[in-house]
Amino acid sequence: MNKHSHPVLRRKSTRIALAASALCATLASGHAFAQNSTQTVSATTANSAEAAAPDNDGGQIATVEISTRKTRSTVSMSGNEIQKILPGVNPLKALETLPGVSFQTADPWGNNEQNLSLFVHGFTGQQLGYTMDGVPLGDQQYGNYNGLSPQRAVTSENVRSVVLSTGAGDLGTASTSNLGGTIDTFSSDPLQKYNVNVQQTVGSHNTSRTFIRVDTGEFGNGNSAYFSALHHEARAWDFNGRQSNDQFNAKFVHDGSAGKLTLFADYSDKTEPNEDATVHVAGEKSAPYTRSFLYPNFAAAQAYLSPSGATPAADGNNYHNYYSDAQRTDFLTYAKYEANLSPDLTWTNQIYFHHDDGVGVVAGPIGVAGLPGLFAVYYPNQNLKQVFGNSGYATRTTEYTINRDGYISTLHWDLGNHQIETGIWLEHNRSEAYRRWYALDVNNPSSPYTRPSNPLITQYGSGIDNKVAQFHLQDEWKLRPNLALQAGFKSSLQFADGQFPVQEAPAAIGGGSQGLPVGEIVTKSWFLPGVGVRWDLSKQDQVFANIQKNMRQFVTYGAGGASPWSLPSQQAFDLFKSTAKPETSITYELGLRDTRQLDWGVVKAFDGQIDLYHVDFSNRLLSISPTPVISSIIGGNAILANVGSVKTDGVDLAGTLHFGHNISFYDAVSYNHSQYEDNYTSGTSVVQTAGKNVPGAPTWMNKFVATTTVAGVEVQLIGDFVGKRYATYTNDLHVSSYFLMGLNLSGKLPYMGNLLKNPRWNFNVANLANRQGVLEVVVGAASGTYNTYPIPPRQAFLTLKADFS
């Protein structure tokens, strides 16, 4: 199937549905939450989130805090509990123990972004909203165009808390993609006393992670600051690839009677070895568990190919590339001032800037995936092996640049029984993406850790100028001391203009007479309402309900992903522009929170939540692979199909039983039923998706965390069951369920003198039972084929940390 042989696929649709909403749960450690059931977490401001997350390691705190202020399901994990999972872990991965959250990636930290998979109640990770201290982080697509990952925005050890809000999230969230909720990460504030914190992690596959943070303590009149440095290295578990990261954070806070000034800066230089997915087809008898790379054994890479550069026929689509990695360099900074205009009026203003320089690299054989035909367009009637360095391999890059600046302003006014909030978010983003091909010289083979130079082919170069404006207004009205009504709306506007400074050769797009599409798309939604209620039935029980509508703006990425500028012709783009509608969702949520002391023998307390949700999801866009091999190296322009409506129904039931002070057991069961309601048309064929489940999202999940303290050592056993997942849009293929366990141990080291304070250790084991199976499924076809990434083997890590004064 030629990558450009399809017309634009679209289908008019009426209603839609897809799951989002409800996260609940209280993975509690010890009994603290049972003792303090009124502790709240607000996803609106960093201050309220930080109030639930103390920085020190002393004493037991709840693993998850459930907000009792929200009319929707909102939960928060403190930085301390995140670091227990594994010091340095991605805040997104830390959420995988929560009900309704399915998270997979190739490494135990969750750092690998190329094969990261995240579902929350049926919504994909790209349909959620992400912020760090209020700064928008984009939609987390691997092909960077409008943001960066949370672990690149702030070093994991500096995370104060991470807050997950399901449904559409808060109205004031700075995001254009939060159909299914928001994930807000908050950095810790400087300590009030001088301190030096040092941490060192070692473990499986040559892991070494060194973290140092220096806090100045308070100086002057309400001033404090910190500076931190990180160096992380590890080897990929299935081949000789190096994961590395150098990161620096600095934060300054001036807290006075007139207001609070915060200055923050982050620099991250990160390299990730990518994984090649295993290709599966209907009726196959066997497929490799992994597709490891051949680097750095260049002799083996040469021997792997035939003299003409062909791969072994027996390997088929699961051939081996030489290497692949993702290089990302980011600089992020913001200035924020929270002005106390009066005891009842606060005005917060924040400006930010983000620069990203990134590249995704693949060095692979030149005789696969349609490459001979592509290269022949640029080098007709030539010996392609000689053209590309006589090695039989070529290096492909996708080179990214992002320059974003923005402004966020929010006004909070307590007016009697009313809490009024209004605000505006403005952003200007200039992003570029260039696809280039380089020779791989047989006499001087390249490395995945340096940028190639002198391209032979610049296949295309895109530039998109995007402006976003978002306004919100809401009021929380306290009708009675135990009853609050919240209502409001937001407006979302996007002005995107895409150009191609370097056009793809027409013959490379299937022989057409035009290049890739250019032009402006403006989308405006002036009224996206939300209404919710919170009713305290008693001191122990609270009912909440919420209805909210949201929209996902079109992706503004050139020549890739689910973007209008990835369509294969100007006519297709113009048709899309005139007829397509952005994805929208309406989420209905109803829940009950309960926290109470008990006297049931050994059971002393219980806390938990049940959450029911329904979602109508309209104008769902599918990005369908243009090639038979999903994620093929040749890439190509994705086919955007409007598959109409999706309907979702689901429930989360989660709770923690506390057995005295030292033992607790948390368990969460999730059910999600997300189903397409319409068929769609591909050319002249009708693809039968009506009544089919949304692939990739499991119907059933169950998680548990068992916690106890023995002789001063805290022990956590974590279990994660993910049920069967469909692997195609028509559900003709699926992958089996899996159950993984992890073990976390932590304790204090012996007293080591006055200089060294609070020395402690962590020991973490991932995939404790050393299970094998499919961790992640990559969906990109209606039927017949899908890709997978495997479960990594058991890995163990030891961390030593201490403070110096």
Rounded average pLDDT over 445-458: 93
Whole-angstrom distance, CA of residue 41 vs CA of residue 27: 15
- Token readout for 103 is 């998270």
Torsion of CA 130, 133, 137, 142, to 10 degrees: -80
Amino acid residing at 760: R
Rounded average pLDDT over 725-745: 96
| Per-residue pLDDT reduced to its tens digit, 361-418 | 999 999 887 888 899 999 999 999 999 999 999 999 999 999 999 999 999 999 999 9
Predicted confidence at residue 634, as pLDDT, reads 55
For the cut 50, the answer to whether the pLDDT of residue 55 exceeds it is: no
> Contact, 305 vs 442, CB < 8 A?
no
3-state SS track over 733-760: CEECCEEEEEEEEEEECCCCCCCEEEEE
Predicted confidence at residue 76, as pLDDT, reads 84
Predicted confidence at residue 691, as pLDDT, reads 94
Burial of 650 (0-12, 13-18, 19+ CB in 10 A): buried
Predicted confidence at residue 252, as pLDDT, reads 98
3-state secondary structure of 506: helix
**Exposed e or buried b for every residue in 440-463, given b needs 16+ CB within 10 A?**
bebeebbebeeebeebbbbbbbbb
What's the CA angle centered on 733, arms 730 and 737, to 5 degrees? Answer: 120
| Per-residue pLDDT reduced to its tens digit, 493-526 | 999 999 999 998 877 765 444 678 999 999 999 9
Task: Give every CB contact of residue 771 below 8 A, 6+ residues apart in sequence.
Answer: 738, 739, 740, 791
Question: In terms of DSSP bridges, do strands 181-187 and 129-132 run parallel, antiparallel, or are they unpaired?
Answer: parallel
> Contact, 718 vs 94, CB < 8 A?
no
Question: 471-485, 507-521, 557-571: which range is least confident on average?
Answer: 507-521
Whole-angstrom distance, CA of residue 473 vs CA of residue 399: 39
| Per-residue pLDDT reduced to its tens digit, 250-298 | 999 999 999 999 999 999 999 999 989 999 999 988 899 999 999 999 9
| Per-residue pLDDT reduced to its tens digit, 603-648 | 888 888 999 999 999 998 876 655 555 555 555 555 677 888 999 9
What's the CA angle centered on 65, arms 609 and 413, to 5 degrees? Answer: 105
